[in-house]
Amino acid sequence: MAIIIHDVGMRDGLQVETTVVPTERKVAWIEQLIASGIDAVQVGSFVNPRLVPQMADTDAVCRHFADRMPARTRLTALVLNEKGLERGLAAGVRDFCMGVSASDTHSRKNTGMSTVEATARIIATAHEAIDAGARVQLSVQSAFGCGFEGAIAASTVTRIVSEFVDAGFRTISLADTAGHATPRQVQSLFRAVQRAAPDVVCACHFHDTYGLAMVNAWAALECGVQSFEAAFAGVGGCPFAAVAAGNLCTEDFVHLLQRNELRGDVHLDALLALANEAEQLFGRPLPGVIHRTGPLRETAGARG
């Protein structure tokens, strides 16, 4: 089974930071992520710049790469509605991530719509993207719990997934926006999705709010999840969550994989250099671990 590493640090990682990263620095960081050999980089989100100032230059960043698309690394962007999709297409994006929160409260705070309203709208937007020749990954946010509502019924998540599948979409992510997931819950929910739609390519997105992102990622790997969203240095968090906390850390997860003789093709040192650079820019320790401790190198095939 192929393991896909999708770094979302440039979007999820930066959106809660008060220090705005200059556009030229963003471009350089994206180039470093591409050079590391990971599979996908989320370069930003097409959202209201007044609400998320860090994403105000997403159009410019995407236009920079529109005629410089890397040979093997996918460049993705997040959109929440038709207007965001229109901006993304105009900026040259051809790989979109779109999502719906399983929590009605979180959905209203994040999009101003109920879960039911947001689901219908995002499916229509996703079809527009497909019609324009783009790729789409759909996600269910707050799939494992919500900081506002607490537990989310598995049936709510599988119902949304079923709507995505019935609409013709086969790449679907379950996101632990609030960081409430446990390994047993992760495996139970993903297996339910796999039973309902065996041909779906499953992706996961874990936050480390309560220190469980890495074990949840491993649990997902063990039950056949293929795509893992993570952020360099473990930065990030949803600004509309009750408690914003960082993501599964890309370089820490790569280190775990390489210690288990997986993804030795990824240049771990390139990711560590980026994590250290980000820590210097933001002027504080960032959540990742391996960029501070240094990696263990025993595993044959791991590249520096």
* Intra-chain end-to-end CA distance of the chain, in Å: 24
Query: What are the E-state strand segments in the chain?
Result: 4-7, 40-46, 74-79, 95-101, 135-141, 171-176, 201-206, 227-230
Top mean-pLDDT range of 100-104, 109-113, 234-238: 100-104
pLDDT at 16: 84
Q: Is the CA virtual torsion 58, 63, 66, 69 positive or negative?
A: negative
pLDDT at 239: 58
In a domain, 285, yes or no: yes
pLDDT at 161: 97
User: Which residues are identified as catalytic?
Assistant: 238
Kindly give the pairing relationship between strand 135-141 and strand 95-101. parallel
pLDDT at 300: 46
Q: Residue 132 pLDDT more than 70?
A: yes
pLDDT at 61: 98
In a domain, 106, yes or no: yes
Q: Residue 44 pLDDT more than 60?
A: yes
**CA distance linking residue 181 with residue 203, whole number of Å:** 15
pLDDT tier at 1, thresholds 50, 70, 90: confident
pLDDT in tens, 260-285: 999 999 999 999 999 999 999 999 99
Please give the distance of CA 110 from its chain centroid, rounded to a whole number: 16
In a domain, 137, yes or no: yes
What percentage of the chain exceeds 90 in pLDDT?
86
CA torsion 136-142-144-146 (nearest 10°) is 180
- Which residue in this structure is represented by tokens 């139970």? 188
Mean pLDDT for the chain?
A: 93
Kindly report which listed range (181-190, 230-239, 246-255, 285-294) carries the lowest average pLDDT score: 230-239
CATH of residue 115's domain is 3.20.20.70
DSSP-derived 3-state class of residue 276? helix
pLDDT at 209: 93
Which one has a higher pLDDT value, 107 or 248? 248
**CA distance linking residue 243 with residue 209, whole number of Å:** 8
In a domain, 298, yes or no: no
Q: Residue 47 pLDDT more than 50?
A: yes
Q: Residue 243 pLDDT more than 90?
A: no
Kindly report which listed range (27-36, 122-131, 290-299) carries the lowest average pLDDT score: 290-299
In a domain, 167, yes or no: yes
In a domain, 132, yes or no: yes
Total tally of structural domains belonging to the chain: 1
Top mean-pLDDT range of 131-135, 147-151, 300-304: 131-135
The answer to whether residues 29 and 61 touch, using CB atoms and an 8 Å cutoff, is no
In a domain, 113, yes or no: yes
In a domain, 299, yes or no: no
Mention every residue, 6+ apart, whose C-beta is less than 8 A from residue 241: 106, 147, 177, 178
Instruction: Show the domain range for 191.
Output: 4-293
